[in-house]
Chain A
Amino acid sequence: MNRKEFLSDCGKMGLAGVTLSLFPWLESCSPKAKLAVQGEKVRIGIIGTGSRGLFHIKHLVQMPQAEVVALCDNYRPHLDNAAQYYPEAKLYDDYRRLLENRDVQGVIIATPLYLHAPMTLAAMEAGKEVFCEKSMAYTLDEALEVYNRRKALGRVLFIGQQRLFDPKYVKAMQMIHEGVIGEVVGVRNYWYRNNNWRREVPSPELERHINWRLYSEYSRGLMTELACHQLQNGSWAMGQLPEKVMGAGSLIHWNKEDKRDVYDTVSAIFTYPNGVNMTFESIISNKHFGMGEQILGTKGTIDLVTAMHYTDEPAPKGSGMHQFIEQIERGVMSNSVFAGTSWAAESSALAPGKPIMQDVKVVSGESSVGAEADGSKELLEAFLHAVITGKQPEKVLEESYYATQFALLADKAMHENAILTLDEKYKVPYEPLK
C-alpha cells in the first residue's frame, strides 16, 4: 500500500467522534493519518504577521510537524512580534525574497485581501504549497485565475474557511444530510457587532496600511471579511450553488467618524435553483443578536453556532401528558415533570432544543482575529498534512472558491443595485460535500 492509499484508508476514524468517511477533506485529521506522517516536518514561511498571522503562529508553535523558517511583513513592529516566537527564522520585508528561499516548502498568507491573489499566484509559481486566508481573492477574475493556476501547477491550496474543519459544523451537516430536520427550506446567516472595526494607528500615514479593511481599495468590507465564512452554509447543507443574488448595502453610522468607504450595513439574499433562499445580514452598530447561522428544515432547525437542534413538532412524545398515559398503560403511577412558567409557543427558537454533541465550544463572533476551537487549528493541521503528502484534498477548495465568488457577487449586486447571476466563465466543477 502506498502512502496515498494508506491515507485515504484512514477516513473511518474520529475527529471528536464524527464520521470522517463522510467528509473526505477531514481524513488528515484522523489519528491514523496523523500517525502516518509522524516525525515529518514541514518548513513554513509566513507572509503577513499581523493579528491573524500571529494567531496562526500561536497554533504552529504547538505543532511539532511545523518548522517556521521564514517570516515576512512590511510593517516592522508586526515582523518583530512574530520573530519573538521564531528567533531563528529568516526575516523579510518583501515577500518575493521570501519566495526565493528554497528552504520554504509551504507558505501561509495572512495579508490584506487585495494581496491574496498576487501573493498566492507568485507563491505557487515559486513551487510553494499555499495556505491563504479568506477570502480567496479581491475580484471574481482573480479568484478564477488562482483556481485554474493551482490546477495547472498541481499545488496544494487551502483557504482560511475554518468552519469546514469545525467538529460541530461537520456533525450538524451530517445530521442535515441524514434528513434530521427534513427538507432544507431556508438558511439564515447574520453577524452583528457594535464597534467601529478600526484598529489603533500609531501615526496617521499608517492609517490605510493598518485599517485596510475600511477601504474598498484593499477590501470588499463585510462581504469578504465576514460573509464569506457563512456563505458556504447553504451549499454545504443543500449540495447546490446559488442561482441568483441580490442585496443592499449602505454606510449609515461609522462614516461620521472617518473616511472609510466600505458599507457598515449589508443585507443579501442568495436564491438556490430549488427556490430556497439563504440570507446574510451584517450591522456593526448593534450587537444584540451577535453571530448566527441557522439551517431551517421542514421538521426542525439546526443552529450551527450553538450546535443546537430544535424540532418543529409541537408536542414531542414524552411530554408530561404522554408520561401519564404511559404510566396508566403500564398500571403504575409516578410524577411527571413538565410544569413550568409557560409552554414556549410558535417560535421554535424558544422551544427547548437539544445539543447535537457534547462539549461544544460556542464562538461569539466578536473578535476580528479569530477564536479558539473554531476549526482554525484543525484547518492548519490539515494544511501541514497536505504539504507533507503533497495531496490536495477533494472538494474543499471549490467550497472556498464559491464562498468567495458569491461574497464578491453580492457586493457587486449591492453596488450595481441589481439581481446578479454568476457568469458561466466563473463556474468550476462543483461536487457537493455530501
Chain B
Amino acid sequence: MQYHHSCKNPLYPTSLCSFVAMHTMVEVLMVGCTQAEGERLAHEVQQRVWDMERRFNRFDITSPLSVVNTKAAAEAVSVDDELYMALEVCEVFRRGTKGYFSVAPTSVVGLAPYLLNASQHTVQLCSGDVQIDMGGFAKGFAAEQIKTLLIEAGIGRGVVNFGNSSIAAIGCHPYGEWWGVGVENPLCKGIQACEVRLCNSAMSLSGRTPNGEYHIINPHTGVKVAQDELILVEGRSALVAEVLSTALYAAPKLERGAILSQFAGYEATEIYCTADGVKSRKIE
C-alpha cells in the first residue's frame, strides 16, 4: 500500500492511500485526520477490501462463492450472512433493472440465475451452467462499505475512488461546496468531457474499457454490447450507481428511461465522445 500524508495546509491535513484490489486501483482520500490516524484507517480499509475480494473471488476455490458455483447446481448450499445478503440485493437489482443487471449474464438468458431460501439461508443455482461473478457488484459494494467505515471513524470529508469508474464522496471539498470530478474524454487524454459535482454522493461510469474493448454483456442475449457511449450515473449510493450504470449500458436506449425511473434520486446521462467534442443526453 502507498500512503501519503500532507499537512502543508494545517487547517486541512490530507491522507491518501492507494492499493490494488479487485483488478483495479483503489484510492482513498481523507481530509482532517492526523498522520497516524490516517494510516490506521488506511490499513483497516485495505483489510476490509481484501476480505471482500477474497469472499467474492470466484477463482479462489476456497471462497464461499466458489463453493456455491461448484456445488449449488446439484443441491441448495447454505451460505454466510454477507454472501446471502449480497445475493439477495443482486436479485432485487436484477428485477429492478428489467434483468439488465445480472451476476450471471451469460448463463440463463433473461431468467433468475438462482433461488434463495430465506428461512434456510441457502442458495440453489437454476442450472448447471450458471456461474456467479460478483465483479459488477463488488466494487460499488466495497466503495459503499468504505464510506460507512470512514464516516463512523469521524471522517467528514473525503473521496473513495475505485479505479476512476466508481467514486464516492464524503462531504465536500474544503474550499467548495462539492468535489469537482471531471470525466475524461476517452479519446483525448486529460480533456474533460463533462463535470460531476459530488457531495455526500457517488457516481459510476460504464462503457468500453480504456483499451477500447466492449466488456459489458446483455443478460437477455448473452453477448457483449457494442456501444461507444459512456453511461454516467449519479446518486446517493455508490453501489446503486454502479449497478445502474452497467444495466443502463446493457439496456436498449428505449428502455433506459423506464429502468431509471425505478430508482428515485438517481440521474443518468449518455455521453458520446469524439476526438473533437462531446454530446450528452440526460436519460429520462
Asked if B205 and A336 sit within 8 Å, CB to CB, the answer is no
Please pick, from B167, B192, B209, B210, the residue contacting A335 in the complex, using a CB distance under 8 A.
Answer: B192
Which of the candidate stretches B83-91, B116-124, B179-187, B262-270 sits at the interface with the other chain? B179-187
With A315-B27, A335-B182, A350-B211 known to touch, is A341 a contact of B165 (CB < 8 Å)?
yes
Asked if B27 and A341 sit within 8 Å, CB to CB, the answer is no
Set of chain B residues within 8 Å of A319, measured between Cβ atoms: 27
Asked if A339 and B184 sit within 8 Å, CB to CB, the answer is yes
Which of the candidate stretches B16-24, B37-45, B59-67 sits at the interface with the other chain? B16-24
Bound together, the chains give a CA A343 to CA B174 distance in angstroms of 26
Asked if A340 and B164 sit within 8 Å, CB to CB, the answer is yes
Interface of B is mostly: strand
Closest to B190 in A: A337
Set of chain A residues within 8 Å of B192, measured between Cβ atoms: 335, 337
Q: Tell me if B161 counts as interface (CB < 8 A to partner A).
A: yes
Closest to A339 in B: B183
Bound together, the chains give a CA A41 to CA B25 distance in angstroms of 61
Asked if B9 and A315 sit within 8 Å, CB to CB, the answer is no
With A321-B16, A335-B192 known to touch, is A340 a contact of B8 (CB < 8 Å)?
no
With A315-B27, A339-B167 known to touch, is A344 a contact of B174 (CB < 8 Å)?
no
- Within B153-199, the residues touching A (CB, 8 Å) are 159, 161, 163-165, 167, 173-176, 179-184, 186, 189-192, 195-196
Bound together, the chains give a CA A320 to CA B16 distance in angstroms of 11
Please pick, from A321, A342, A345, A346, the residue contacting B27 in the complex, using a CB distance under 8 A.
Answer: A321
With A337-B190, A342-B164, A352-B189 known to touch, is A325 a contact of B181 (CB < 8 Å)?
no
Set of chain B residues within 8 Å of A333, measured between Cβ atoms: 173-176, 180
Q: Tell me if A332 counts as interface (CB < 8 A to partner B).
A: yes
Q: How far apart are A174's CB and chain B's nearest CB, in angstroms?
A: 24
Set of chain A residues within 8 Å of B191, measured between Cβ atoms: 337
Asked if A320 and B190 sit within 8 Å, CB to CB, the answer is no
Asked if B9 and A341 sit within 8 Å, CB to CB, the answer is no
Asked if A338 and B6 sit within 8 Å, CB to CB, the answer is no
Asked if B180 and A334 sit within 8 Å, CB to CB, the answer is yes
Closest to A315 in B: B18
Bound together, the chains give a CA A314 to CA B4 distance in angstroms of 14
Q: Tell me if A55 counts as interface (CB < 8 A to partner B).
A: no
Set of chain B residues within 8 Å of A194, measured between Cβ atoms: none
- Within B204-227, the residues touching A (CB, 8 Å) are 205-211
Q: How far apart are A358's CB and chain B's nearest CB, in angstroms?
A: 15
Asked if B25 and A320 sit within 8 Å, CB to CB, the answer is no
Q: Tell me if B72 counts as interface (CB < 8 A to partner A).
A: no
Q: Tell me if B250 counts as interface (CB < 8 A to partner A).
A: no
With A327-B175, A331-B175, A342-B164 known to touch, is A336 a contact of B182 (CB < 8 Å)?
yes
Q: How far apart are B256's CB and chain A's nearest CB, in angstroms?
A: 18
Set of chain B residues within 8 Å of A346, measured between Cβ atoms: 20, 23
Asked if B189 and A320 sit within 8 Å, CB to CB, the answer is no
Bound together, the chains give a CA A342 to CA B23 distance in angstroms of 10
Set of chain B residues within 8 Å of A334, measured between Cβ atoms: 180
Closest to A329 in B: B8
Set of chain A residues within 8 Å of B163, measured between Cβ atoms: 342-343, 345
Q: Tell me if B251 counts as interface (CB < 8 A to partner A).
A: no
Flag B1-39 by CB within 8 Å of A: 1 or 0 each.
010101011001010101010011101010100000000
Q: Tell me if B108 counts as interface (CB < 8 A to partner A).
A: no
Q: Tell me if A92 counts as interface (CB < 8 A to partner B).
A: no
Asked if B6 and A342 sit within 8 Å, CB to CB, the answer is no
Closest to A354 in B: B189
Bound together, the chains give a CA A24 to CA B207 distance in angstroms of 49
Asked if A328 and B208 sit within 8 Å, CB to CB, the answer is no
Set of chain A residues within 8 Å of B27, measured between Cβ atoms: 315, 319-321
Q: Tell me if B230 counts as interface (CB < 8 A to partner A).
A: yes
Closest to A341 in B: B207
Asked if A345 and B6 sit within 8 Å, CB to CB, the answer is no
Please pick, from A331, A341, A352, the residue contacting B208 in the complex, using a CB distance under 8 A.
Answer: A341
Bound together, the chains give a CA A49 to CA B8 distance in angstroms of 70
Q: Tell me if A322 counts as interface (CB < 8 A to partner B).
A: yes
- Within B249-273, the residues touching A (CB, 8 Å) are none
Bound together, the chains give a CA A259 to CA B24 distance in angstroms of 51
Bound together, the chains give a CA A332 to CA B24 distance in angstroms of 29
Bound together, the chains give a CA A340 to CA B37 distance in angstroms of 30
Q: Tell me if B203 counts as interface (CB < 8 A to partner A).
A: yes
Q: How far apart are B8's CB and chain A's nearest CB, in angstroms?
A: 4
Set of chain B residues within 8 Å of A343, measured between Cβ atoms: 24-25, 163-165, 210
Bound together, the chains give a CA A53 to CA B212 distance in angstroms of 40
Please pick, from A315, A324, A330, A345, the residue contacting B23 in the complex, using a CB distance under 8 A.
Answer: A345
Q: How far apart are B18's CB and chain A's nearest CB, in angstroms?
A: 5
With A320-B181, A352-B189 known to touch, is A328 a contact of B175 (CB < 8 Å)?
yes
In the complex, the 3 A-B pairs of residues with the closest C-beta atoms, listed nearest first: A337-B182, A333-B176, A335-B180
A residues touching B (Cβ–Cβ < 8 Å)? 314-315, 319-322, 324-325, 327-346, 350, 352
CB<8 Å pairs between A and B, sample of 27: A314-B25, A321-B16, A321-B27, A324-B14, A324-B29, A325-B6, A327-B175, A328-B31, A328-B173, A328-B175, A335-B180, A336-B181, A337-B182, A338-B164, A338-B182, A338-B184, A339-B164, A339-B165, A339-B167, A339-B181, A339-B183, A341-B186, A341-B207, A342-B24, A342-B210, A345-B24, A346-B20
Query: Besides the contacts A333-B175, A339-B164, A340-B164, what 7 more A-B pairs have beta carbons closer than 8 Å?
Result: A320-B181, A322-B16, A328-B31, A333-B174, A337-B192, A339-B203, A341-B230
